[in-house]
Structure 1
């Protein structure tokens, strides 16, 4: 037993303690990676996006559907009924991110900083174009004589103010 007591301190001192050395990364690896920033900026765009035609822009029924989706997806919560609430108004001539159909489409799909959420994957492509047509119609950017979607006997006569202008003549003159 005394022999064991003499060896006990040597056993404790002879055991090596585990050493952990931290691996120091080179300075370039420690720098935070910065997110990529797009070149999108408010104001006039100098490099125009390729022109995209909106098939729903000249169809009154599609614009009406756009209004329905505008309300259903709660666009009215921020933009009111075009006049602007806490979001920018859509009835004036000042468009921060552009008024072209593809720019409005991109705004809805991608969202914008400071409040506009992205609707990517939440709204179908057809519904998006219908909303774009409605939003553009709020500030008069679409054809005010958009064609009625119905092309059957129920369509009726065109409104009086859209009939081609006639040539006035006196009732005493012979008519051709």
Structure 2
């Protein structure tokens, strides 16, 4: 009986991660207020992003949504499941337009020269942020506590919550 009571207390103390399936329209519109540097690399996310608690990189539900969009929109066909192909590798974190979230967001939204199409007319702002958050986690050099769920297909790269081996100087 004591074991059952302690189990119930333990489960009662667990807090579920928030899953918001639809962002309020004014918030979604504000998420488009990205300040990109004139050269198209880097910038500042909209203030509402910080007010939301930066969910697109730290929330497992948002990362799972980004992973699903990555598959649905055929990103693996050019990026070879993150390892590179006709598009750059996404698992090394070294990208021509930078690994920061604003650069990734603007690359998806506006496209880039020499092959990266613009997705502004195919995805909502919220979906672009979800996809950008997932891609940033793919190229992260350190592990995060939040990660999307596993795919059912065979894996050709390390899981998103696994960080690449760090180089230790001798």
SS of equivalent residue, structure 2 residue 86: coil
Larger radius of gyration, structure 1 or 2?
1
Q: TM-score, normalised by structure 2?
A: 0.55
Which residue does 2:39 correspond to in 1?
Answer: 40
Which structure dedicates a bigger proportion of its chain to helix?
2
Question: Within 1, Cα distance between the matches of 2:100 and 2:59?
Answer: 17
Flag the 1:147–1:138 CA change in 2: closer, same or farther, 3 A.
closer
1:49 aligns with 2:32: no
Contact in 1 for aligned 2:55/2:62 (Cα 8 Å) = no
Question: Within 2, Cα distance between the matches of 1:84 and 1:66?
Answer: 18
Q: Please list every run of 5 or more consecutive structure 1 residues that lacks an aligned counterpart in the other structure.
A: 1-37, 149-176
Which residue does 2:92 correspond to in 1?
Answer: 92
Flag the 1:142–1:71 CA change in 2: closer, same or farther, 3 A.
farther
Q: How much is the aligned-residue C-alpha RMSD, in angstroms?
A: 2.4
Instruction: Give the length in aligned residue pairs.
Output: 106
Q: How much does 1:65 deviate?
A: 1.2
Contact in 1 for aligned 2:99/2:139 (Cα 8 Å) = no
Q: Please list every run of 5 or more consecutive structure 2 residues that lacks an aligned counterpart in the other structure.
A: 1-36, 149-170
Question: Within 2, Cα distance between the matches of 1:125 and 1:119?
Answer: 10
